[in-house]
Amino acid sequence: MPRIDLHSHSTASDGTDSPEELIAVAAAAGVDVLAVTDHDTTSGWERAAAVLPAGMRLVRGAEFSCVSDDGRGGRVSVHLLGYLFDPAHPAIAAEQERLRGERVERLRGMTAKMADAGYPVDTDQVFALLPEGASAGRPHLARALVAAGVVESVDQAFAELLYTGSPYYVPKSDTPVRTAVEMIRDAGGVSVFAHPLARKRGRVVELSVVADLAAAGLTGVEVDHRDHAPDDRALLRGLAAETGLLTTGSSDYHGTNKTIPIGAETTDPDVFDALVARARGVEVLTG
């Protein structure tokens, strides 16, 4: 049975492996199908495709930064995985450019707050960690904190200093999730709600929100993810059965920025085939 991992990150956003290295790591781990889903960018697609080994398949995608009603009268940040969409679609191209700008300003603001509080970080140092053209993110600040000896790991930096709502947190203006679902659909792609019940990351949406998105065109929901407890996986499978959503599994691999190995969570081949059958933007590439 093929090993299918539909959520991974490279240095095009906040992973530590270059797109070329990401493909090599996946191949070495026995992953047969890999989705490259960097935050708010498709800049790693071409480099990953150029080194695709024989027989391995590449799903081109992105992880969109979104905001959603939480189902309790509030708002919460969420992530949406888009697959096989046309990256040149005007709405997609414009929104990804805007989001990357939001990411830069947020990272500048958080770095300035930490420097003002006496932490040994500065903007030049943090942005020097971004490869050219990369989508900026909090993990770049986390890596600067690790390098400065403030924390021992990226995970510790997030848990103690960079979490949503921390004194140093700066919000950004993300895409309304329903708009993102429609935008991906209009660009020929399919959308999957990423780790919707990752409670350790902060507040999450009610299941009714996911159900409403299913009625609005959402294709699937990421169920098998390291941040989902067994009971929450069962809840999501039940919701998917009721709403017709496809259920995926993915590692959310970030290289050394996170401890989970690539291919640690996978997607059923029949589910993958169903996802691909619904997309019409770009094709799955085969090495």
Q: For the segment 5-47, what is each residue's pLDDT rounded down to a tens digit?
A: 999 999 999 999 999 999 999 999 999 999 999 999 999 999 9
The whole-angstrom separation of Cα 37 and Cα 46 is: 13
Sequence-separated (6 or more) residues with CB below 8 Å from residue 286: 52, 55, 56, 57, 58
Q: Write down the residue that tokens 């979490």 correspond to.
A: 163
Question: pLDDT by residue (tens digit) across 212-225?
Answer: 999 999 999 999 99
Q: How many CB atoms lie within 10 A of CB 254?
A: 22
- The amino acid sitting at 14 is D
Three-class SS of residue 82?
Answer: strand
- What angle, rounded to 10 degrees, do the helices at 177-186 and 207-215 form? 30
Cα distance between the two ends of the chain: 18
Name the DSSP letter for residue 253: B
- Tell me the CATH number for domain 100-162: 1.10.150.650
Question: pLDDT by residue (tens digit) across 173-196?
Answer: 999 999 999 999 999 999 999 999
In sequence order, the β-bridge partners of residue 69 are: 75
Q: Grade residue 92 by pLDDT with cuts at 50, 70 and 90.
A: very high
Segments making up each domain of the chain, as ranges:
4-97+172-286, 100-162
- The amino acid sitting at 53 is P
pLDDT reading at 245 higher than 80: yes
Instruction: Give pLDDT, residue 95.
Output: 94
E runs forming strands in the chain: 4-5, 33-36, 57-69, 75-83, 175-176, 190-194, 220-224, 246-249, 285-286
Instruction: Give pLDDT, residue 118.
Output: 96
Give the residue with greater pLDDT, 68 vs 165: 68
The whole-angstrom separation of Cα 31 and Cα 119 is: 40
- The amino acid sitting at 100 is R
Instruction: Give pLDDT, residue 9.
Output: 97
Same fold, 4-97+172-286 and 100-162: no
Of 166, 131, 161, give the one whose Cα is nearest residue 14: 131
Instruction: Give pLDDT, residue 252.
Output: 97
Question: pLDDT by residue (tens digit) across 114-130?
Answer: 999 999 999 998 998 88
- CATH topology for the 4-97+172-286 domain: TIM Barrel (3.20.20)
Angle at 138 between CA 136 and CA 141, to 5 degrees: 95
Instruction: Give pLDDT, residue 257.
Output: 83
Sequence-separated (6 or more) residues with CB below 8 Å from residue 151: 142, 145, 157, 160, 161
